[in-house]
Amino acid sequence: MDAHVRAGVAIYNAGGYHAAHDAWEDHWLALEKGTDDERFLHGLIQFTAAVYHARNRNWGGATGLADSAVDYLADLPGTYRRVDVAAVRSYLAALGGDPELIERSRPLALTYDGAVLTLEELRFEATAIAAAVLAEEKGYDEAVLEEAVRFARADLDDGRTASPFVTLLFGFVREPEHRAVVFERLAAHVARRVDREKDVAGLFERREPERRE
């Protein structure tokens, strides 16, 4: 769960107020309803949605989601899963009472272990999650990213410290100004690795024995 939390927090802090929930949603849906983890992720999802609606001047949607998010987070400790939940609750209360404050100041930054977590600080597993979220949000081919993550994990398992897939996945997430170019390079590496897998598989295909007349 930690990787999902970190990925969503970093995406949110990078301005992905709508995209952040995708890092949490699948994991949240698999949790038992009413557990602390479920309420935590549910509250964060509604928090980001409240910020998103406020930034789009949907004042009614923002206040309703802010109030609901406070309810989900109400009984959690001030810090939960290393996230400053107390700060989130305070901001939600202010946003619920005056959603137009979003136009007077930047939205609350989420802190993790007491610091504002950025995309540059994500380790591999959280980066893999963030890459999938950003691909969907920005319209890149998600299948390419899925294959890139698979190849990156295989390289890491094999002890390869200079994997182009790992390097380019980090670049895709961390360098938005170069994301299109990084994706093209990543897609080329994926295509070559896929072709190589097909070639290797072909070597081991069982051939039908020749019939003798």
pLDDT one-digit tens code per residue, 170-182: 999 999 999 999 9
Residue 38 confidence (pLDDT) above 70: yes
CA distance 105 to 6: 24
* pLDDT exceeds 60 at position 206: no
- Give the pLDDT of residue 116: 97
151 and 191 both lie in a single domain: yes
Q: What is the pLDDT of residue 160?
A: 82
Q: Which residues contact 168 (CB under 8 A, 6 or more apart)?
A: 148, 182, 185, 186, 189
Higher confidence at residue 204 or residue 62? 62
Question: Is the predicted pLDDT of residue 200 greater than 50, yes or no?
Answer: yes
Given 91, 120, 149, the domain boundary residue is: 120
Position 207 pLDDT exceeds 60: no
114 and 20 in a common domain: yes
Q: What is the mean pLDDT of residues 59-65?
A: 95
Residues spanned by the domain of 141: 123-203
Residues 169/186, Cβ–Cβ less than 8 Å: yes
> Looking at the domain assignment, is residue 208 inside a domain?
no
141 and 108 in a single domain? The answer is no
pLDDT category of residue 134 using cuts at 50, 70 and 90: very high
Q: Is the pLDDT of residue 129 over 80?
A: yes
Task: Indicate the average pLDDT of the chain.
Answer: 92
> Rounded to the nearest 10 degrees, what angle do helices 85-97 and 59-73 cross at?
150
H helix and E strand count, the chain: 9, 4
pLDDT at 181: 97
Would you place residue 213 in the very low, low, confident or very high pLDDT band (cuts 50, 70, 90)?
A: very low
Based on the fold, state whether residues 27 and 66 are members of the same structural domain: yes
Question: What pLDDT, in 10s, does the model give residues 147-196?
Answer: 999 999 999 999 887 899 999 999 999 999 999 999 999 999 999 999 88
Report the Cα–Cα distance between both ends of the chain, in Å, rounded: 64
Alpha-helical regions (H) of 30-141: 36-55, 59-73, 85-97, 124-138
Q: Which pLDDT band holds residue 26 (cuts at 50, 70, 90)?
A: confident
Question: Is position 210 within any domain?
Answer: no
